[in-house]
Amino acid sequence: MKTIRSTIPRSNLAMRWLRLHLLATTVARETFLGTTCVVIDALRATTTIAQAVAAGAREVRVFEEVEPARRAALTLERAEYVLAGERGGKRIEGFDLGNSPAEFVPERVGGRTILFTTTNGTRALARCGLAGEVLVAAAVNLESAAAALAGATSVDLVCAGTDGEVSREDVLVAGGLVARLLADSGWEPTDEALLARDAWQAVVGTAVGALRQNLLARAMAESRGGRNLLALGLGEDIRWSAGVNSLAVVPKYDGATGVVTK
Amino acid sequence: MKTIRSTIPRSNLAMRWLRLHLLATTVARETFLGTTCVVIDALRATTTIAQAVAAGAREVRVFEEVEPARRAALTLERAEYVLAGERGGKRIEGFDLGNSPAEFVPERVGGRTILFTTTNGTRALARCGLAGEVLVAAAVNLESAAAALAGATSVDLVCAGTDGEVSREDVLVAGGLVARLLADSGWEPTDEALLARDAWQAVVGTAVGALRQNLLARAMAESRGGRNLLALGLGEDIRWSAGVNSLAVVPKYDGATGVVTK
């Protein structure tokens, strides 16, 4: 019996490209043309968006600036919307909610439009406007985001960063996604993707459940963004944001409309 | 007896800043004004420079382009210089040596001027021209480089990268330096520095000696630069470059002259 060999050289087999961008704002928009982007702003915008969607928000409209969000509110009935967002980590004056994910409970956001403005996360989403699809990910929906990439062949993990600097927490979460994806064969990761995976493994190792949450929260608390939150008395947000796989949603962002939906 | 307390708040105590730049070419030159830079091009330029200096080379003159290196050779006696460098990983035609560190033995380079041109490492060194001091580091002289930073208060670890992309091997080595430095108190690391430290720990863990070299070589071999070297049949260079602390030198680069000396 003859062994049947594929005549396709290994390098020509369908590879799946897995790139990671440590800082969204340093990447040209054209980089994402037609790819599947996964935007991560782990402390806290993408965590909060995932929570809002999981809690039954109708949609999340994302604004880079405060005033357009306020103006959008004027076009809606009061019961239809929740005005939410932060500047400098703090709730914006006159807004209903800040950017603490735990505030986005079904009683507050269910069935409503969230008018949402944060700095880094919003800008990172906007930067992916040319992508074929833009998913919103954080530690809280890591597994769901990975599952949503099952059919993707060209993936860009996009870390939002903080005020133009790399954020450790975003890269760690992106690294968790890399670790999860590389469990399947066929991916071709960049060096940055491998580095992020390394960092995730150093922090979380093989821990699961509450231990994993504790380890990730501790690392997030050491980061610049984490220390900012601690200084603002928002340490509970870090714990919340480190809750790996607590939510089973993958919000999708539409670059044409700036709207995130389930 | 009264406890004597410092009246200086902790945040005003002399902090030592430890920044890490994943990709030299994305950093503005002014960033390094007056700081202590440590340039890392682990595969292979800074490894080779460290080896050349350890082997007794008089100096290493660094050139961004090939022709200036050739012209410099015309000004020296044949016995005085060694023309060395690579393009696309390969020895440049007519050059005495390529960029394989093991070739830079005392018999070849002792007492001589090395006229050296590589792409990424050379550009990374040139980018640090405004620094107060520029050290050349790699895995092979990690401990010596760390010791040389004993008096520094503002340190920039500068990863050369490869053709404008982040190189895993450079970041790993930089992370090893971060891990070593943070063993002393007083450093304030950036998120990027912590991420690199995380990655180093994931790869090397607590291993020492031959095991550490094996683990680091394996990770380097997975990187884009490492795979390029393997494809060129230069796998032995990876092993050599992963030899942590095999050399006790800290070459210094003079931005005004482009010359590296012990």
pLDDT in tens, B221-246: 999 999 999 999 999 999 999 999 99
Given this model, what pLDDT does residue A14 score?
A: 76
Q: Kindly state the tokens that stand for A141.
A: 């929906």
Identify residues of B whose CB sits under 8 angstroms from chain A CBs: 22, 26, 165-168, 171-172, 190-192, 194-196, 198-203, 219, 222-225
Q: Is B4 a residue whose pLDDT tops 70?
A: no
Please report how the helices B45-54 and B120-127 are oriented relative to each other, as an axis angle in degrees rounded to 10.
80
Contact A134, A258 (CB under 8 A): no
pLDDT in tens, A40-76: 999 999 999 999 999 999 999 999 999 999 999 999 9
- When pLDDT is averaged across residues A173-199 and rounded to a whole number, the result is 96
Which of chain A's residues have a Cβ under 8 Å away from the Cβ of B194?
168, 222-223
Contact A140, A107 (CB under 8 A): no
| Per-residue confidence band for B13, with pLDDT thresholds at 50, 70 and 90 | low
Given this model, what pLDDT does residue B6 score?
A: 39
- When pLDDT is averaged across residues A179-188 and rounded to a whole number, the result is 94
| Per-residue confidence band for B1, with pLDDT thresholds at 50, 70 and 90 | very low
Given this model, what pLDDT does residue A13 score?
A: 59
How high is the mean pLDDT of chain B?
Answer: 94
The SS3 assignment for B221 reads helix
pLDDT in tens, A105-124: 999 999 999 999 999 999 99
Question: Which of A138, A127, A173, A135 lies closest to A152, judged by CA?
Answer: A135
What DSSP string runs through A19-88? EEES-GGGS-GGGGTTSEEEEE-TTTHHHHHHHHHHTT-SEEEEESSHHHHHHHHHTS-GGGEEEEEEET
- CA A22, distance to chain mean position in Å, is 13
pLDDT in tens, B158-209: 999 998 899 999 999 999 999 999 999 899 999 999 999 999 999 999 999 9
A64 burial via Cβ count (<10 Å: 0-12, 13-18, 19+): middle
- When pLDDT is averaged across residues B64-92 and rounded to a whole number, the result is 97
A194–B223: do the CB atoms touch at under 8 Å?
yes
| Per-residue confidence band for A12, with pLDDT thresholds at 50, 70 and 90 | very low
A203–B203: do the CB atoms touch at under 8 Å?
no
- What's the CA gap between B86 and B102, in Å, rounded? 15
- When pLDDT is averaged across residues B37-56 and rounded to a whole number, the result is 98
How high is the mean pLDDT of chain A?
Answer: 94
Q: Is A148 a residue whose pLDDT tops 90?
A: yes
Q: Kindly state the tokens that stand for A61.
A: 């409209």
Which of chain B's residues have a Cβ under 8 Å away from the Cβ of A168?
191-192, 194-195
Contact A136, A158 (CB under 8 A): no
The SS3 assignment for B235 reads helix
Per cent of chain A over pLDDT 70 is: 95
- What's the CA gap between A237 and A229, in Å, rounded? 8
Question: Which of A34, A72, A85, A104 lies closest to A255, judged by CA?
Answer: A34
Cis peptide before A44 (omega within 30 of 0): yes
Helix%, strand%, coil% for chain A, nearest 5: 45, 20, 35
What DSSP string runs through B117-185? E-SHHHHHHHHTTTSSEEEEE-GGGHHHHHHHTTT-SEEEEEE--BTTB--HHHHHHHHHHHHHHHTSS
Q: Is B11 a residue whose pLDDT tops 60?
A: no
pLDDT in tens, A17-43: 999 999 998 899 999 999 999 999 999
Question: Which of A176, A102, A101 lies closest to A144, judged by CA?
Answer: A176
Contact A86, A99 (CB under 8 A): yes
Per cent of chain A over pLDDT 90 is: 92
CA angle at B190 for the pair B185 and B196, rounded to the nearest 5°: 90
Q: Tokens 């490869």 correspond to what residue?
A: B162
Q: Is A4 a residue whose pLDDT tops 70?
A: no
Q: Which one of A23, A191, A216 makes the best mutation probe of the B interface by having the most chain B beta carbons within 10 Å?
A: A191
The SS3 assignment for B247 reads coil
Q: Which one of B190, B191, B200, B201 makes the best mutation probe of the A interface by having the most chain A beta carbons within 10 Å?
A: B191
B19 burial via Cβ count (<10 Å: 0-12, 13-18, 19+): buried
Given this model, what pLDDT does residue A10 score?
A: 46
| Per-residue confidence band for B67, with pLDDT thresholds at 50, 70 and 90 | very high
**ipTM attached to this prediction:** 0.84
Please report how the helices B209-222 and B168-182 are oriented relative to each other, as an axis angle in degrees rounded to 10.
140
Q: Is A9 a residue whose pLDDT tops 70?
A: no
- When pLDDT is averaged across residues A146-155 and rounded to a whole number, the result is 96
Question: Nearest CA of chain A to the CA of B224: how many Å?
Answer: 7
User: What is the chain B residue with the closest CA to A168?
Assistant: B191
Q: Tokens 């005392």 correspond to what residue?
A: B106
| A208-223 residues labelled b (16+ CB within 10 A) or e (exposed) | eeeebbebbbebbbbb
Given this model, what pLDDT does residue B2 score?
A: 42
pLDDT in tens, A226-242: 999 999 999 999 999 99
